């Protein structure tokens, strides 16, 4: 059973009410019988499709300057 969020336009209270799909949405506040509006999209079910990967195939520079190899010279005493 889906849960709907309502906000009362009279008293400003928010409440949620689970209703059948076939059932008419609530129109009056459960507190003050005032007029309510249905809040859409706040009751969950929001899916963030994350396209969160970036192309990381940038080429590393091939020219890695070879550091002149240090010859381990034996020190003459």
Where on the chain is the footprint of Zn ion (CB under 5 A)? Answer: 8, 10-11, 29, 31-32, 34
Shortest spacing between CB 7 and Zn ion, in angstroms: 9
Shortest spacing between CB 35 and Zn ion, in angstroms: 8
Q: Which lies closer to Zn ion via its Cβ, residue 11 or residue 39? A: 11
Task: Give CA separation, 42 vs 28, 46, 50, 67, in Å.
Answer: 19, 8, 19, 60
Q: Which lies closer to Zn ion via its Cβ, residue 10 or residue 23? A: 10
Q: Which lies closer to Zn ion via its Cβ, residue 27 or residue 42? A: 27
Helix (H), strand (E), coil (C) string for 15-51: EEEECCCCCCCCCECCCCCCEEEEECCCCCCCCCCCC
């Amino acid at each position: 059973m889906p849960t709907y969020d309502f906000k009362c336009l009279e008293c400003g209270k928010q409440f949620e009410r689970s209703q059948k799909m076939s059932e008419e949405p609530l129109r009056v506040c459960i507190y003050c019988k005032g007029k309510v509006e249905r809040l859409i999209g706040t009751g969950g079910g929001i899916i963030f499709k994350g396209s969160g990967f970036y192309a990381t195939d940038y080429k590393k520079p091939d020219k890695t300057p070879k550091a002149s190899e240090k010859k381990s010279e034996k020190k003459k005493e």
